[in-house]
Each structure stands twice: as C-alpha cells, then as structure tokens.
C-alpha cells in the first residue's frame, strides 16, 4: 500500500503517536509524516505510507498555514498553554490599533529564537530535554518568513489569528515575542494547522474514521498489531491453498473504501509536471535507466505515471530531454 493520507490530528497526541496508530490501523510498517505538530496543536498532518515515504524529501521546506489564539497577560516556559507560568498574571485589555502595530513588525522575514522546549539540538541534545531538567537553554535565532499574519478578532486579553509561514517557524515564539513587544507577556493558547504545502484541512480524516473504514471499531491504544479485516482480503496467502480470482477481486473491492481516503497521486507536488509513460518507458524508469521525454525538455523534475493513478517515479532531467529516476515509487507487477 503506497499513498498520502491527511489526518486531522487531535490534541494530546504527538505526531509520532499518530504515525504509530496509522501503522496499526493499516497494518503497514512503513509510515511517516510530513511535518511535526506539537501535542497541543490539531489539524493537518500528512501521513505517507509505503514507498511514498520517499516523497518526504520534497516536503522539507513546505509552507504551513495556521489559525489559533494568543492569550496575553503572562508567559509560560513552553510558550504555550501547556507550560508553567513564568511571569505574574496581568490584567490586559488589548487595544486593537496597538496590537495591529505590534503584529505588523512580525510580518515578512524576521530573526526568530526557537522556544526552549523544542526539538532544536544543542551539542547533539534536543533543547526540550535540557529545559525539562531546568537547565538554561539558549538557541540561536533562525531566519523565518511570515508571509501572512492576520488578526481575526480581539476579545479582552485574547487575539485570534491566521498565519501563513515558511518551514521552521514557531507560532509559539510569535506569541511569546508579541507579549514581550507589548510588555504584558503572552503565550499560544490554541493552534490548528489548516494547510501544509498542497494539503488542506478539507482533505483531512480523523483517526476514528480511518479505523472504522479499515474494519476496526476503535483506534487501538495497545502495541499489539492485528491485521485489519479489509487488509486481510489482500494479504498474500502463505498457506498451501491458492487464492482464487474471486477472492482476489473481493479483496480489492473491500480495500476500495479505504483507498478512497488517500490523496490522488496526480495532485501531489503540483509544482512538478506529470507525464504518463508507455509500457516500455515505464519499464526503463523502474529499472533505473534513462528515458527520453521530449515534451518536458524544460522541466527539472517530473512525476512519472503508468496509467492515471500509478505514480511510479520522480525523475530528474540529466541532459537535454533525458530523464533519470531520482526515486522509484512503484516496482510494477
């Protein structure tokens, strides 16, 4: 099973927790994600399954979009609502004009210091491990770009916002630094990611929905792996009895509702043009040989399909109209 599945991550789970649950639900070992979300945050978490985990390299610098709430009046050690207060609580009544003036200074390319409770490493040790031991953490500022930062509403001591940012931007740091700029302290109260690269919240599915469609009544919390009913129908039979044509067709039909949850491969990496290879060209690409694609002579990289939905490779132009597979995603029959 290869594909990309968008999960609406619930609050309280780490991104790795979600990956582990999807592994159990789909009975697939090769599962990853395309961008960490903090445990408190919810929303878009793209999950890659099977050979499509190889696509992760193309999403390292993906743009993200968020909506959330900043609470003003005090700071926390984690820069969000899950941390311990590190300043006295102040009564705050936000002035819309003053707030907009402060927010404006965060738009564009800025130098941002990551939160002490983050995965950034100091001499090989994740910063959050040092912070948990109450050791002083100093992280070097990183250049990030906040392409959009819109104030959606103000209610006494809270600001609702929408942001579109480059990879590596911490909205917790934006909240913390906004509070510092206004002199009252602040932290991120809630955060929901609504988009990562081309993936949006409208495509997202809950873990519960995935589990039901995969033939499980609930998302299992144990580490015991069991083969889902829908996947058993397509699992190779290792017994002496051969699988009949009828059984194979039945298995394919049982899998169809599950496969429909996956993002259509044609919509992946929209910045790359697509080409449908004939049988001969597809065989060459799968074998790691160069192939001539004259209609795409100006493209640096292309998505190569066999048929309408079988994404078999990402190919890179090596010279003129010759392309070579950078990664092979489908070995064929």
Catalytic residues: 38
HSE at residue 173, side-chain half, CA atoms within 13 A, is: 21
Residues 323 and 317: their CA atoms lie apart, in Å, by 4
Angle at 283 between CA 46 and CA 4, to 5 degrees: 5
Query: Which of 214, 182, 235, 224 has its CA nearest to residue 70?
Result: 182
Q: Which residues of 75-95 are buried (b: 16+ CB within 10 A; e: fewer)?
A: bbbbbbbbbeeeeeeeebebe
Q: How many CB atoms lie within 10 A of CB 106?
A: 17
Residues 298 and 221: their CA atoms lie apart, in Å, by 49
Distance of CA 143 to the CA centre of its chain: 21
User: Both tokens of residue 158?
Assistant: 């809270």
Residues pairing with 65 in the sheet: 164, 195
In the chain, how many H helices and how many E strands? 8, 16
Query: Which of 114, 134, 52 has its CA nearest to residue 311?
Result: 52
Query: Which of 99, 95, 2 has its CA nearest to residue 55?
Result: 2
Report yes or no: 187 and 171 within 8 Å, Cβ to Cβ: no
Distance of CA 165 to the CA centre of its chain: 14
User: Both tokens of residue 229?
Assistant: 């009913």
For the chain, where are the alpha helices, taking DSSP H only? 15-26, 96-104, 127-132, 171-182, 207-213, 229-232, 245-259, 279-286
């Amino acid at each position: 099973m290869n594909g990309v599945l968008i999960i609406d991550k619930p609050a309280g789970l780490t991104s790795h927790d979600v990956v582990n649950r999807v592994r159990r639900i789909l009975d697939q070992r090769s599962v990853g994600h395309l961008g960490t979300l903090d445990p408190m945050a919810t929303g878009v978490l793209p999950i890659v399954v099977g050979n499509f985990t190889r696509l992760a390299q193309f999403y390292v610098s993906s743009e993200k979009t968020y909506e959330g709430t900043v609470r003003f009046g005090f700071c926390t050690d984690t820069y969000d609502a899950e941390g311990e207060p590190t300043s006295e609580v102040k009564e705050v009544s936000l002035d819309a004009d003053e707030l907009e003036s402060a927010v404006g200074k965060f738009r564009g390319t800025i130098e941002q210091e990551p939160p002490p409770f983050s995965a950034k490493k100091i001499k090989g040790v994740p910063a959050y491990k040092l912070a948990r031991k109450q050791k002083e953490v100093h992280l070097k500022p990183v250049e990030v770009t906040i392409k959009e930062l819109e104030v959606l509403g103000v209610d006494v001591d809270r600001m609702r916002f929408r942001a579109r940012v480059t990879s590596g931007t911490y909205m917790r740091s934006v909240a913390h630094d906004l509070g510092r700029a206004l002199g009252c302290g602040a932290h991120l109260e809630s955060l929901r990611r609504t988009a990562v690269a081309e993936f949006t919240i409208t495509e997202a599915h809950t873990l519960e929905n995935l589990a039901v469609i995969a033939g499980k009544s609930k998302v299992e919390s144990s580490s015991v792996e069991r083969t889902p009913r829908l996947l058993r129908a397509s699992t190779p039979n290792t017994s002496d009895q051969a699988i009949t044509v009828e059984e194979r067709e039945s298995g394919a039909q049982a899998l169809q509702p599950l496969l429909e949850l996956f993002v259509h491969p044609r919509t992946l990496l929209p910045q790359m043009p697509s080409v449908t290879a004939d049988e001969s060209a597809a065989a060459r690409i799968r074998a790691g040989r160069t192939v001539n694609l004259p209609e795409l002579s100006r493209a640096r990289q292309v998505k190569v399909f066999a048929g309408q939905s079988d994404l078999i490779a990402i190919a890179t132009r090596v010279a003129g109209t010759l392309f070579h597979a950078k990664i092979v995603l489908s070995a064929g029959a």
